[in-house]
Amino acid sequence: MRVIIMGAGLVGSPMAIDLVQDKNFEVTAVDIEEKPLQNLSKNYNINTIKKDLSYASNLRELLHDYDLVINAVPGFMGFKTLKAIIEAGKDVVDIAFFPEDPFQLNGLAKKNGVTAIVDCGVAPGMSNILVGYEYHRLDKVDSVVIYVGGLPQKRELPFEYKAVFSPIDVIEEYLRPARYIENGKPVIREAISEPEIINFPEVGSLEAFNTDGLRTLAETLPIPNMKEKTLRYPGHIDKIRLLREMGLLSKNEIKVNGKNVRPLDVTTSLLFPQWQLKKDDKDITIMRIIIKGMAGKRKKQITYNLIDKYDEKTGIHSMARTTGYTATMCARLIAEKLFHKPGINAPEAVSADSECVEFILAGLEKRGVFYKRKVK
């Protein structure tokens, strides 16, 4: 099967490397940057194409000869890229995490016979799959809380943070209002609100705060109480709030020396070099999912814990592993015809079939990513 990966960045490249190990796949990676493409071509014998993916005409040319697409472009390009993929009639796994509603493309995907699995990373992604898995096994689910974060193992001031995926998408997390479900009703709260301290024995205390991470879960599963919170080292919230309240994250143009500039563009130009995850920087991904419900007449609490670290052997960052390998395992689901459902599919749609979930978990464990399940 011929697979093309749109984007060869922090997550795109490890996905290409993972898939090319499988003899069933012929892998091509596309990016506008030469450096990651050279690495893939030279060291892994992966086909590469240098192309600006922001132009729809380039997408139409590229997709013709491929059977399956993985969309790993930045979020601001994600929706239109996914639309172009569906218009081309190609099955797709998407990790672009764009702000638009993916279900707007459901009719188009069904019309073109395209199976699309969206939001297919660690969270959203595996968080949705595991919540859906338990939803279908329990008689009733009353509440779900998801805590998740990608962090540098080494804490360095001033931010004690490195962008373990697209930095512009990190900023978007701090700006986009957070949607929750409380008592069966949707609730919208400001991002970076309702902070709390959560202890993780492996890393210590972390801040948790509201971000818009539920995404499709808020629409697809009738669970009366659901929320997701992002994790950072303590003190991070105050620094981001200060930037936001000063207007330094604003997208509205202001005049500086007679020129129109967006404060966000200036801030990101200064921040991103500091947040850049360098090759030797080691990261850690932490997730805890708490699901409460009923099995018959008995109350159940099911907790999933993930503590995943930078892979010393391969040099692949944890966020790339936990995000990318979820996507590549879902690509294998489609390739092996274990999952075929034309239309836009949220990750939780996959978990309606326990065989699919077990297939993904087994593949992740083979790659050293372990979700520990505890029931009480």
- Residue-wise pLDDT for 20-33, tens only, equals 999 999 999 999 99
What's this model's pTM, rounded to 2 decimal places? 0.92
Q: State yes or no: pLDDT of 164 exceeds 70.
A: no
Who wins on pLDDT, 130 or 172?
130
pLDDT-derived band of residue 286, with 50, 70 and 90 as boundaries?
very high
Q: What is the pLDDT of residue 74?
A: 87
pLDDT-derived band of residue 17, with 50, 70 and 90 as boundaries?
very high
Who wins on pLDDT, 67 or 165?
67
Q: What is the pLDDT of residue 96?
A: 92
Q: What is the mean pLDDT of residues 316-329?
A: 96
Q: What is the mean pLDDT of residues 342-369?
A: 97
Residue 105 DSSP class: G
Q: State yes or no: pLDDT of 222 exceeds 80.
A: yes
End-to-end CA distance of the chain: 43
Q: What is the pLDDT of residue 248?
A: 92
Least confident interval from 107-121, 166-180, 345-359:
166-180
Q: Tokens 């920087």: give the residue.
A: 281
Q: State yes or no: pLDDT of 166 exceeds 80.
A: no
Q: What is the mean pLDDT of residues 284-293?
A: 97
Using H for helix, E for strand and C for coil, what is the string for 4-47?
A: EEECCCCCHHHHHHHHHCCCCCEEEEEECCHHHHHHHHHHHCCE
Coil, helix or strand at residue 173: helix
Coil, helix or strand at residue 131: helix
Q: What is the pLDDT of residue 57?
A: 73
Q: State yes or no: pLDDT of 110 exceeds 90.
A: yes
Which amino acid, residue 97? F
Burial class (CB in 10 A: 0-12, 13-18, 19+), 25: buried
Q: What is the mean pLDDT of residues 81-89?
A: 95
Q: What is the pLDDT of residue 165?
A: 63
- Residue-wise pLDDT for 242-254, tens only, equals 999 999 999 999 9
* Of residues 342, 291, 344, the one with CA closest to residue 120: 344
Beta bridge partner(s), residue 179: 188
